[in-house]
Chains A and B, each alone.
Chain A
Amino acid sequence: MNNKAKKGSNIIKWLFDNVIYVFLVLLVIGIIIASPDFLSMTNFINILSQSSSRIIIALGIAGILILGGTDLSAGRQVGLAAVISASLLQAGDYAYKMYPNLPELPLFVPILIAMVITGLFGTLNGWIVSKFHVPPFIATLGMMIGVYGITSIYFDRPPYGAQPIGGLSEAFTTFAQRGIKIGQYEFPYLIFYAVIVSILIWIIWNKTQLGKNMYAIGGNPEAAKVSGVNVAKNMIIIYMIAGLLYGFAGTLEAGRVGSATNNTGNMYELDAIAAAVVGGVSLSGGIGTVAGVITGVLIFQIINYGLAFLGVSPYIQFIVKGAIIVVAVAFDMRKHAKKK
């Protein structure tokens, strides 16, 4: 092969290997050409803030996917955390409080309570999967249905029955809806929470024993066991971390929307899995990066926001999103197949 041709094929190879990033750039360029107004700070901030809680959920699920598992209960756990934190953070003067006599709690207490509860459900998922060898799809399917029941019982109870839990305290809405003013723009705190969580998860995945063990278990569980990795313990911890992240994301969702119902978070797990997979996380385990997951979430959010901005029918958006999931994974399989 002559040099020129080699150079050309190298560029093509690079484009294939980084196809999601290429796609993200093309997508943005496409939308900008269709409507140059899209290129504004406001739109940029909106997309980031809408992505924030989704990034947190997707990072939780991605860890489990890298283990070679899956988690269908993520969305319902988000809902549970949203309902719990909202019920504990209603404003003191709100007429329909779930706990009329509850004083206004410091913000971190309800957030912690919600996270501990979903953390326990995550742990339970991990325990069932690792100790009883129930396929993760089934274990978390059961959890998804069961947690919805628990959330609904908690939600639909006296004194006011099944109605959205609203009237959230100002501290809570500030925490989730306001931001830091830089110049004329307000950057929502949500973005910073997502950044902090991403950094923490990046550290866990790349710099700790737990992270190495996670990749090892997903890459080859038998070899991990032989290498002295405590497979069950590490799996349980990764599921637990996912639960904690769902809990945090759930409280952010409640605060962002300003209320919560038993259907908050419904189906979020599928969006999160789709984003992770589009971002290069392998469903067969062992492969995935934090940057990839974030990119995956951003792609979907830009499609949502960008196509709406262009005035494209939301039904068409579904078709586009569905196609992207399949095409992205097809490209990814091609990349891995070549390496064999």
Chain B
Amino acid sequence: MSNILEMINITKRFPGVVALDRVSLKVKAGSVHALMGENGAGKSTLMKCLFGIYSMDEGKIIFDGKEVSFANSKQALENGVSMVHQELNQVRQRNVMDNIWLGRYPKKGIFIDEKKMYEDTAAIFKSLDINIDPRRKVSSLSVSEMQMVEIAKAVSYDSKVIVMDEPTSSLTEKEVAHLFKIIRTLKSKNVAIIYISHKMEEILKISDEVTIMRDGQYIATKSAKDLTTDEIIKLMVGRDLSQRFPPKVNQPGDVILKVKNLTAEMQPSFKDINFELRKGEILGIAGLVGSKRTEVVEALFGLRAIQSGTIELHGKEVINHSPQQAIKNGFALVTEERRSTGIFPGLSISFNSIIANLPQYRKGIFLSESQVYDDTKWVIDSMKVKTPSQKTAIGTLSGGNQQKVIIGRWLLTKPDVLLLDEPTRGIDVGAKFEIYQLINQLASEGKGIIMISSEMPELLGVTDRILVMSNGRAAGIVETKTTSQEEIMRLAALY
């Protein structure tokens, strides 16, 4: 088999960091090529270079025997390189075939040829064994069906290379099986798949070759049948966990928070969740996407209605029907989606620091400027936020610095229980270490911390105990010291 796509010595620099350092990727026609690496290893950056979203500083891309440089993903698509995204971007209000042929509708004179559109769509679906009515509205499709539509769209462009980014992250086992069947069909049509995933078993099952990246560098390309899960992890991590996490200094004390039989009002969601949190303890929550981890902490913080169950803080039941109540009761939440629910991008660091704590600054009808100044200064100093001034708009800072401001915002409210939802998502490695240190320090100061994370090493390196959720239920609580990735994965897939 010959290589359909070769990315050779790709280098991409951002101010202050080398995101990709002479990375190479060679994909054979009609093969499934897994691209692996931890978050931040540079997989997405490499793909963005392929699709022209980033311009690379060095290196070349050879596609189908010719050197290419796509200006944008549309151009790549038209040349036969397509991507099925993690976040599916479709026009949800329109139907399936409109979405597939968007921008290049078949025409009869000045009118759109609906009949041809329907027949062409149906033919592609049939060849891929996809059973969806082309006239259905996209908003009525399940995630897996939408993904199939995306794949069909890629096929309709005669793609020779299809990139799939975490395609199974929201799929059930049955849906994964169907996806794999489609992937095998594509292979038989000599289409190459670049398969980005974190799930070892899947990778070993579906892929022919595996390329592993770490910290922006190319590590190895190996045949999948010569690899084991352990070997992949070793290649991916490449160093001891102990260097990536600060030493643990916190000492869990008495129980401060008891959650009993917590069940969400809007089902399907979490059901019958029980756990305790100690003073100075870091409790992790693990689980696959869709296991309703976020929903649990949002319910604790009053953002989601609960149908039944109780929350006890310091032995007394608390009612958190709204974030205002939750804040008063001593809860704080750093949300998962920093951009959409965390920062006020156009407003200053000062504003972003104090917004959750405004009642504390009131002097009559006014806000005390000096207290606002002092608290902002405290946030910047103690969180080590790198910023030119208090007045700088937070949107101009790096993700890590934004996150430090948000954590600082919540510490100003002097919470007893700090809820952290994916606190290091989208943050570079150095800043992650600082955030871990901060979490450790807060716990050793006696705060109870609940931390959701999708990164297994992070959970194992930072927490004291881990609550594993599976499909809305608590599958078990494990001691971090004695557990393993395998045990957590097994619990996460329990229900």
C-alpha spacing A223/B334, complex, angstroms: 10
Distance to closest chain B CB from A86 (angstroms): 33
Which one of B323, B345, B358 lies within 8 Å of A219 (CB-CB)?
Answer: B345
Known: A219-B347, A227-B356, A339-B393. A212 touches B367 (CB 8 A): yes
Known: A212-B355, A339-B395, A339-B396. A226 touches B346 (CB 8 A): no
Say yes or no: A223 contacts B366, CB within 8 Å: no
C-alpha spacing A339/B347, complex, angstroms: 12
Say yes or no: A216 contacts B367, CB within 8 Å: no
Residues in A with CB closer than 8 Å to B355 are 212, 216, 224, 227, 229
Say yes or no: A212 contacts B346, CB within 8 Å: no
Which residues of A197-219 are within 8 A (CB) of B? 203, 207-209, 212-213, 215-216, 219
C-alpha spacing A40/B273, complex, angstroms: 76
Chain B residue, CB-CB nearest to A204: B365
A174 at the interface (CB under 8 A from B): no
B271 at the interface (CB under 8 A from A): no
B12 at the interface (CB under 8 A from A): no
C-alpha spacing A207/B347, complex, angstroms: 15
Which residues of B307-336 are within 8 A (CB) of A? 322-324, 326-327, 333, 335
Known: A216-B344, A286-B347, A287-B346. A227 touches B362 (CB 8 A): no
Of A212, A229, A287, chain B has the most CB atoms within 10 Å of the CB of A212
Say yes or no: B351 contacts A215, CB within 8 Å: yes
Residues in A with CB closer than 8 Å to B324 are 228, 230
Say yes or no: A208 contacts B341, CB within 8 Å: no
B442 at the interface (CB under 8 A from A): no
B343 at the interface (CB under 8 A from A): yes
Say yes or no: B327 contacts A212, CB within 8 Å: no
Which one of A216, A222, A228, A229 lies within 8 Å of B340 (CB-CB)?
Answer: A222
C-alpha spacing A226/B355, complex, angstroms: 10
A131 at the interface (CB under 8 A from B): no
Residues in B with CB closer than 8 Å to A229 are 355, 358
B359 at the interface (CB under 8 A from A): yes
Of B341, B355, B361, B366, chain A has the most CB atoms within 10 Å of the CB of B355
Say yes or no: B365 contacts A208, CB within 8 Å: yes
B342 at the interface (CB under 8 A from A): yes
C-alpha spacing A32/B195, complex, angstroms: 69
Which one of B344, B347, B366 lies within 8 Å of A208 (CB-CB)?
Answer: B366
Chain A residue, CB-CB nearest to B328: A228
Report A168-201 CB contacts with B as 1/0, cut-off 8 Å: 0000000000000000000000000000000000
B447 at the interface (CB under 8 A from A): no
Residues in B with CB closer than 8 Å to A340 are 395
C-alpha spacing A224/B365, complex, angstroms: 20
B409 at the interface (CB under 8 A from A): yes
A220 at the interface (CB under 8 A from B): yes
B132 at the interface (CB under 8 A from A): no
Chain B residue, CB-CB nearest to A284: B346
Distance to closest chain A CB from B184 (angstroms): 42
Residues in B with CB closer than 8 Å to A230 are 322, 324
Say yes or no: A220 contacts B344, CB within 8 Å: yes
A225 at the interface (CB under 8 A from B): yes
C-alpha spacing A220/B18, complex, angstroms: 33
C-alpha spacing A251/B376, complex, angstroms: 44
Report A37-52 CB contacts with B as 1/0, cut-off 8 Å: 0000000000000000
Residues in A with CB closer than 8 Å to B358 are 209, 212-213, 229
Known: A209-B359, A227-B409. A215 touches B341 (CB 8 A): no
Say yes or no: A212 contacts B351, CB within 8 Å: yes
Chain B residue, CB-CB nearest to A217: B344
B383 at the interface (CB under 8 A from A): no
B303 at the interface (CB under 8 A from A): yes
C-alpha spacing A229/B396, complex, angstroms: 24
Which one of B327, B367, B395 lies within 8 Å of A209 (CB-CB)?
Answer: B367
Report A291-307 CB contacts with B as 1/0, cut-off 8 Å: 00000000000000000
C-alpha spacing A335/B365, complex, angstroms: 34
Say yes or no: A225 contacts B367, CB within 8 Å: no
Say yes or no: B342 contacts A207, CB within 8 Å: no
Say yes or no: B367 contacts A223, CB within 8 Å: no
Chain A residue, CB-CB nearest to B364: A208
Say yes or no: A226 contacts B344, CB within 8 Å: no
Distance to closest chain A CB from B413 (angstroms): 8
Distance to closest chain B CB from A252 (angstroms): 25
Residues in B with CB closer than 8 Å to A226 are 301, 303, 323, 333, 335, 341-342
C-alpha spacing A209/B358, complex, angstroms: 6
Residues in B with CB closer than 8 Å to A216 are 344, 347, 351, 355
Say yes or no: A207 contacts B344, CB within 8 Å: no
Say yes or no: A215 contacts B347, CB within 8 Å: yes
Say yes or no: A209 contacts B340, CB within 8 Å: no
Residues in B with CB closer than 8 Å to A208 are 365-367
Say yes or no: B327 contacts A228, CB within 8 Å: yes
Residues in A with CB closer than 8 Å to B396 are 339
Residues in A with CB closer than 8 Å to B346 are 219, 286-287, 336, 339
C-alpha spacing A208/B343, complex, angstroms: 20
Distance to closest chain A CB from B322 (angstroms): 8
C-alpha spacing A70/B270, complex, angstroms: 38
Say yes or no: A207 contacts B323, CB within 8 Å: no
Chain A residue, CB-CB nearest to B395: A339
Chain A residue, CB-CB nearest to B331: A228
Chain B residue, CB-CB nearest to A230: B324
Chain B residue, CB-CB nearest to A212: B358
Distance to closest chain A CB from B90 (angstroms): 23
C-alpha spacing A224/B322, complex, angstroms: 12
Distance to closest chain B CB from A157 (angstroms): 41
C-alpha spacing A12/B322, complex, angstroms: 47
Distance to closest chain B CB from A244 (angstroms): 16
C-alpha spacing A208/B367, complex, angstroms: 5
Say yes or no: B345 contacts A220, CB within 8 Å: yes
Which one of A207, A225, A286 lies within 8 Å of B303 (CB-CB)?
Answer: A225
Residues in B with CB closer than 8 Å to A287 are 346
Residues in B with CB closer than 8 Å to A225 are 303, 323, 341
Distance to closest chain B CB from A79 (angstroms): 32
C-alpha spacing A226/B300, complex, angstroms: 12
Residues in B with CB closer than 8 Å to A213 are 358
Say yes or no: A228 contacts B362, CB within 8 Å: no
Known: A212-B367, A228-B356, A339-B396. A222 touches B341 (CB 8 A): yes
C-alpha spacing A207/B366, complex, angstroms: 5
Distance to closest chain B CB from A238 (angstroms): 15
C-alpha spacing A230/B358, complex, angstroms: 12
Which residues of A212-271 are within 8 A (CB) of B? 212-213, 215-216, 219-220, 222-230
Chain A residue, CB-CB nearest to B327: A228
Distance to closest chain A CB from B353 (angstroms): 11
Distance to closest chain A CB from B407 (angstroms): 13
Chain B residue, CB-CB nearest to A208: B365
Residues in A with CB closer than 8 Å to B345 are 219-220
Distance to closest chain B CB from A176 (angstroms): 29
Distance to closest chain A CB from B450 (angstroms): 16
List the interface of chain A (C-beta within 8 A of B). 203, 207-209, 212-213, 215-216, 219-220, 222-230, 286-287, 336, 339-340
A and B contact pairs by CB, cutoff 8 A, 5 listed? A212-B355, A213-B358, A215-B344, A226-B301, A227-B355
Given A209-B359, A220-B341, A226-B341, 5 new contacts (CB under 8 A): A209-B361, A216-B344, A226-B342, A286-B344, A286-B347
The 9 tightest CB contacts between A and B, nearest first, are A219-B344, A227-B356, A222-B341, A228-B327, A228-B323, A209-B358, A227-B355, A228-B324, A220-B344
